[in-house]
Chains A and B, each alone.
Chain A
Amino acid sequence: MINRETGTFKRTYAEDLAIYRTPLPKIAVAVIAFVVFVIIPWQGSEYWLGILNLIGIASLGALGLNILVGRTGQISVGHAAFMSVGAYTAAVILREFPGTHWILAMLGGGCAAALAGMFFGIPSLRIKGLYLAVSTLAAQLIIEWIINHWPWLSGGAQGSIYIQAPTFPWIEDGALVSRKMEANLHYYYLIYVVLAIGILFALNLFRSHLGRAFIAVRDRDIAAEIIGINIFRTKLVAFGIASFYAGVTGVLYTYFYSIANFESFTLLISIQFLAMCIIGGLGSILGSIFGAIFITMLPIVLDFMLRGVGGAVFGWDDAAASAIMPQWNLIMFGGLIMFFLVVEPDGLAKMWRNFTDYFRVWPFPYV
């Protein structure tokens, strides 16, 4: 029942391609799903649900970026811009066609972002590495500029569109769990169902022909071309998929905040998503989620530390701790990126794998 994989004993391709090769991960996933969809909504406080919502949205965005950066090896510094394309598309759809179902608006946002991503991915045919990084940087700045300078699109001087938050008539108060459906719990289900779909899609993508093509393009593009992979198409599809994830992420932010605002999608946010991929582990689904948790929790933990430790050791009051909070946030953010790159380039996912590998053969490590 709890047997672990001890070697490669697969006899069919189906076994090799299986998502769950041993029963234990299946149980683990079932337990995690139970905790995420039943225990947390039942017991979690409004404050923590809010944070979990942000983590869920960030995980989806990081997952999309990781497909592009970690799996296909195409760096993108414009991820937040594609989120803004999705966010504003959904917001404009809801504004211009009131009564459109929110799922349609979300898909519309995702598709618009995918198109934008594929357009700005075209340079990846000719250029790579740092050239691609700067060209996506240009995409970020150009999209930001357009949103800022096109009043019809951005809803006037504030650059923000207020939208009617989606409602979920099938989730009645107290229908699923015996508590009142507060705002954050409302979104919690939306976000985590979308995230679950996103993870499932990525899992299946990675074991498909296309997913393997991504890895081939990343590892050696010339060799990939020789074995018959259409590089341009593969790269474009990678940009499209990553940007679709980004677009849906942007739409989720818009639903969550009930407003589409360009300030949620600046260059800094793009960098944060890149940091999630690096710290979590490039190319790893679990890593994307670890990274999203890490980066989202960083300011919260730091705030707690500054108040607690700073208060105890240096006698800072709350005001003093808050005053230096943004600076320490920048320092820790940058410092941790550099630390992980130097010390553990495969990120938290690798640490987790080391941890589980130890227990894989425990208590007979000499076997």
Chain B
Amino acid sequence: MYYVELMLNGLLIGSLYSIVALGFVLIYKASEVINFAQGEFVMFAGYVIAFWILSLNFHIVAAALLALVVMVLVGLLVEWSVLRHLIGRPVVAVIMATIGLASFLQGAAQLLFGVETRSVPLPIDDYPVFIGDLLLNRVELVAAVFAGLGFAAVGWFFVKSRYGIALRAIADDQQVSLAMGINVKTFFGIAWAIAGVVALVGGVFWGNASGVDTQLALIGLKVFPVVILGGLDSIIGALVAGLIIGLVESLAAGFLDPLVGGGTKDLTPYVLMILVLMFRPYGLFGEKIIERV
């Protein structure tokens, strides 16, 4: 029973990893930018929504909508001010720019909203849900539902909407997209804006579970095992790999921690990632680009 509970909790946490990884995948898919600042996006979103609710006493829905607007603006601003100028530069430069962005967002969030840890209050009962003998965290369940909705929305957007199809065209071939009259730069901005919105889901629920401060940005470090395992440009990969990483992490904490004395939760995703990199670098669902030297 204990292990079933462990696995279910792992899956619930994993759904949140998935949603954070989704933002990363969106940006990579559209513009091939590796966003090291995805964790900071989540943190910033957490700060923003905590600010609306706690400092200005807005209702949760109004606060979420306002935070949504702010995150869209942040995403657009980042793309317009920095990433747009780095198109066609070496990978090192782009990675460093997002690392710089991460540092910038950490400083800016603390300066704007204060340094003390705060928790995003949600109108959800603390009392756990019982399914038979299983004990599940109610907030995590709601979070998983929202993560699922987020994936559904993004999936619909990519398959059905005009903008999503344009984004897929850009991901496939930038030059041809330009020739077909797609304004590539605008769509890079749109991808960043969506990534900002997706980060909001992570920010709300992680901000509720562990509090909003700069530690929240550490969730960004969990993104890499997820996206490598799932495949960098695969949305479905982000979903599946997020769940797997959540599961593995939770089981490692349950099985291995008593043996080695704790802390395996943070290590196992990375060991798994190294193995994936060695045997299947494009991940479970990623596009196979075989380039050998």
Is A308 part of the contact surface with B, judged by Cβ < 8 Å? Answer: no
The answer to whether B250 has its CB under 8 Å from any CB of chain A is no
Asked if B4 CB lies within 8 Å of chain A CBs, one says: no
Return the contact of B278 from the options A123, A141, A221 (Cβ within 8 A): A123
Residue of A nearest to B263 (CB): A149
User: Which of B97, B106, B110, B224 interacts with A337 by CB under 8 Å?
Assistant: B97
Contact, CB under 8 Å: B111 / A342: no
Contact check, A69 vs B99: say whether CB atoms are below 8 A apart. no
Contacts of B108 in A (CB 8 A): 327, 331
Minimum CB distance partner of B100 in chain A: A337
**Residue B180 interfacial (CB < 8 Å):** no
Decide if A127 is an interface residue (CB 8 Å cutoff).
yes
Q: In the assembly, what is the distance between CA of A73 and CA of B292, in Å?
A: 16
Produce 1/0 per residue, A123-159, CB < 8 A to B. 1001101110111011001100100110000000000
Cα distance, A170 to B26, chains bound together (Å): 62
Among A126, A271, A334, A337, residue most surrounded by chain B Cβ atoms (within 10 Å): A334
B251-293 interface mask toward A, CB cutoff 8 Å, 1 = contact, 0 = none?
0000000001111001100110110011001000000000011
- Whether B93 sits at the interface, judged by CB under 8 Å, is yes
Residues from chain A with a CB closer than 8 A to the CB of B166 are none
In the complex, A258 has a CB within 8 A of chain B = no
How far does the alpha carbon of A338 sit from the alpha carbon of B224 in the complex, in Å? 22
Report the nearest A residue to B292, measured CB to CB: A126
Contact B270 A334 (CB under 8 A): no
* A149-B260, A337-B96, A341-B96 given; A141·B266 CB < 8 A: yes
Q: Is A345 an interface residue (CB 8 A)?
A: yes
| A316 smallest CB distance to B (angstroms) | 14
B91 within 8 A of A: yes
The smallest beta-carbon distance between A275 and chain B, in angstroms, is 7
Q: How far is the CA of A130 from the CA of B293 in the complex (A)?
A: 17
Are the CB atoms of B104 and A334 closer together than 8 Å? Answer: yes
Q: Is the CB of A138 within 8 A of B274?
A: yes
Check A334 against B263 for contact (C-beta < 8 Å): no
Select which of B82, B89, B292 is within 8 A of A345 by beta carbon.
Answer: B89
B281 and A127: CB pair below 8 A?
A: yes
- B257 CB to closest chain A CB (Å) equals 11
Known: A141-B270, A275-B96, A327-B107. A338 touches B101 (CB 8 A): yes
Q: Which of A123, A271, A341 contacts B93 (CB 8 A)?
A: A341
- Contacting pair B96 A328 (CB below 8 A): no
**Residue of B with least CB distance to A217:** B293
With A222-B293, A327-B111 known to touch, is A129 a contact of B91 (CB < 8 Å)?
Answer: yes
Interface flag for A263 (CB, 8 Å): no
Contact A130 B270 (CB under 8 A): no
Asked if residues A148 and B93 are in contact (CB atoms below 8 Å), the reply is no
- Does A324 reach chain B (CB closer than 8 Å)? yes
Question: In the docked arrangement, what's the CA distance between A282 and B274, Å?
Answer: 27
A75 within 8 A of B: yes
Contacts A69-B92, A341-B82, A341-B85 known; 8 new A-B pairs at CB < 8 A: A126-B277, A145-B263, A222-B293, A327-B111, A330-B110, A334-B99, A334-B105, A341-B100
Chosen A-B contacts, 21 in total, with CB atoms closer than 8 Å, are A69-B92, A123-B274, A126-B281, A126-B292, A129-B91, A133-B34, A133-B91, A134-B228, A142-B267, A142-B270, A145-B267, A275-B100, A329-B107, A331-B104, A333-B107, A334-B101, A337-B97, A337-B99, A341-B82, A341-B86, A341-B89
Which of A's residues lie within 8 Å of B, judged by CB?
A: 69, 73, 75, 123, 126-127, 129-131, 133-135, 137-138, 141-142, 145, 148-149, 221-222, 225, 231, 271, 274-275, 278, 282, 324, 326-338, 341-342, 345
